[in-house]
Amino acid sequence: MIPIPLTELMQVTHPGYSAYSLGKDMKEVHYPMFFDYCMRVCDTFRHYAAKHSSNVITEQSLHQILDYVNDLNETDDPAEVFVIRHRLESACHSFEGHCRDMGRCFKSPENMADYYENLGDLLTHTIHEYAGIV
């Protein structure tokens, strides 16, 4: 089996990697770039999973999250905002699980599991900050 470059999986050349590296200190101005970064990381993982195994990844929580963020941007109706926030929480929970699953695919280096878990945690944090979820 050909080794997969970790730098490619982590998309270290993507501008959103610097936002990821900021962690919870990330400013709202970086959120769109970070969201794109998350999509790229997940797409890259999906690509290599399909290439090196028979597993097909159909997990769509990140797409749902981004759709809900767009919905949130289009309304200020409190009843709609409440429903969207609830959906965002559920989708973030699913994405965190997906990130843990991606991390479990690595036996070494051990920090890859932490990387994917941190990605899920950070996305949830940024969504909560952005959407005003407490």
64, pLDDT greater than 80: yes
Token pair recorded at residue 67: 């759709």
- pLDDT at residue number 57: 66
- pLDDT at residue number 56: 59
**Structure confidence by residue, pLDDT tens digits, 105-129:** 888 888 999 999 999 999 999 999 9
Tell me which DSSP letter residue 131 carries: H
Domain ranges across the chain: 6-131
- pLDDT at residue number 2: 63
1, pLDDT greater than 60: no
Token pair recorded at residue 96: 């965190």
Residue located via tokens 């080794």: 3
- For the chain, report the end-to-end CA distance as a whole number of angstroms: 45
